[in-house]
């Protein structure tokens, strides 16, 4: 029997191993449509911010500044509109119409309440980031509560609902916050918001809302530095 040269054995072995190995799948390349959709979703975070700002200043801004804030929010909504599903577009239009109707009537509470609902809508549809959407909802709860407190007459029932909404969203992420002091302070602020609304205690309500909104800022910073441990 003829002998096979060692180099031939080596070549055959290499070929055999190569044939047995499974080729690793190539990473999927996102399509242009996927990239556009991702960009649009990410843009919803930015689109929500002018409505947050409008909510905060609706009661105190000078008329000229209020008009500028409304215009900025409206322009932001128009940029976001193509990324929204049909039902969300309908909800967005209803709130924008409410803002437009409230401005000539001098209804600052109407502007604030409609604006904060747009903030909630856009924030709820934005792609998840390092900050859980529940943190945005806590921001919404505080802003909605504060708007009800500043309205005349005060909107106690609305404030009760806003406090309950905030407590519900907080319960979904509280266990993921390892900073015990921050966790306790947020729980306390939300409890005080609920108690104040039930008792119709405007002083307690104002203090609790201020604390809650300040704690949301701290929670955002915490979430940014603990992205892997926070539930999403």
Q: Please report whether residue 68 resides in a domain.
A: yes
Range of the domain at 105: 33-127
Above 80 in pLDDT, residue 191? yes
Residues 56 and 77 in one domain: yes
Q: Please name the residues in contact with 90: beta carbons below 8 A apart, sequence gap of 6 or more.
A: none
- What is the per-residue pLDDT for 130? 76
Q: How many domains does the chain have?
A: 2
- For residues 71-80, average pLDDT: 97
* Residue 84, number of CB atoms within 10 A of its CB: 19
- What is the per-residue pLDDT for 11? 47
d(CA 143, CA 138): 9
pLDDT band at 26 (very low <50, low <70, confident <90, very high): low
Q: What is the mean pLDDT of the chain?
A: 87
Determine whether 63 is exposed, middle or buried from the number of CB atoms within 10 Å of its CB (0-12, 13-18, 19+). exposed
User: What is the number of alpha carbons within 13 Å of residue 58 lying toward its C-beta?
Assistant: 32
- For residues 60-88, average pLDDT: 97
Q: Give this prediction's pTM.
A: 0.82
Secondary structure letter of residue 106 according to DSSP: T
Q: Please name the residues in contact with 101: beta carbons below 8 A apart, sequence gap of 6 or more.
A: 107, 110
Residue-wise pLDDT tens digits, 192-226: 999 999 999 999 999 999 999 999 999 999 998 98
Examine the fold and report which residue of 127, 156, 171 is the final residue of a domain before the chain moves on.
Answer: 127
């Amino acid at each position: 029997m003829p002998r096979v040269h060692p180099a031939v054995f080596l070549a055959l072995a290499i070929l055999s191993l190569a044939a047995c190995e499974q080729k690793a799948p190539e990473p999927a390349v996102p399509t242009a449509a996927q990239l556009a959709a991702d960009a649009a979703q990410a843009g919803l975070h930015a689109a929500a911010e002018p409505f947050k700002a409008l909510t905060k200043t609706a009661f105190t801004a000078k008329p000229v500044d209020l008009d500028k804030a409304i215009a900025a929010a409206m322009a932001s909504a128009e940029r976001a509109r193509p990324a929204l599903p049909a039902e969300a577009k309908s909800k967005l239009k209803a709130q924008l119409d409410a803002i437009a109707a409230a401005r000539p009537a001098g209804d600052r509470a109407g502007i604030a309440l409609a604006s904060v609902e747009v903030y909630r809508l856009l924030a709820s549809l934005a792609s998840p980031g390092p900050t859980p959407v529940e943190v945005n909802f806590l921001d919404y709860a505080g802003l909605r509560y504060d708007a009800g407190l500043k309205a005349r007459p005060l909107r106690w029932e609305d404030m009760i609902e806003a406090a309950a909404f905030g407590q519900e969203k907080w319960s979904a992420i509280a266990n993921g916050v390892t900073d015990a002091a921050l966790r306790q302070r947020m729980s306390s602020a939300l409890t005080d918001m609920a108690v104040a609304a039930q008792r119709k205690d405007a002083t307690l309500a104002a203090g609790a809302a201020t604390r809650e909104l300040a704690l949301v800022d701290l929670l955002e910073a915490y979430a940014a530095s603990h992205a892997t441990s926070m539930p999403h």
